[in-house]
Amino acid sequence: MKTNKSPVGVYPSVSESDWEEFCRLKSSEEFQTESQKGQELARKNKHPHYLGTSGYVGAKKKWAKEDEEAEKYGQQPMFSGFTDDRIQH
């Protein structure tokens, strides 16, 4: 909506009527009010996460691989001293 480009024709699943309804809903005063509240709340977040779209589950897989690499080269995994899984990484 911000670019004023319609996705109709680009995405086969979006019809002209779907796009018009979407624009109508997103332009409503109610949506704008809720959107503004969400933006203000997001600005208050002092500790945003940096785990990406995979979240903690994906990060754990990455960390396990890093630990395996460290052990493979005879190094101690960085956080091996932590026994509680929640604070390991």
List the chain domain ranges.
1-48, 55-87
Q: Output the pLDDT for position 71.
A: 92
Rounded to an integer, the average pLDDT of 53-68 is: 88
pTM surpassing 0.75? Answer: no
Q: Give the model confidence (pLDDT) of 30-42 as tens digits.
A: 999 999 999 999 9
16 SS3 class: helix
Half-sphere exposure of 19 (CA within 13 A, CB side): 14
Specify the amino acid at residue 3: T
Buried b / exposed e along 19-30 (16+ C-beta atoms within 10 A): eeeeeeeeeeee
User: Over pLDDT 90: what percentage of the chain?
Assistant: 56
The answer to whether the beta carbons of residues 88 and 82 sit under 8 Å apart is yes
Residue type, 48: P
Residue 48 has pLDDT above 90, yes or no: no
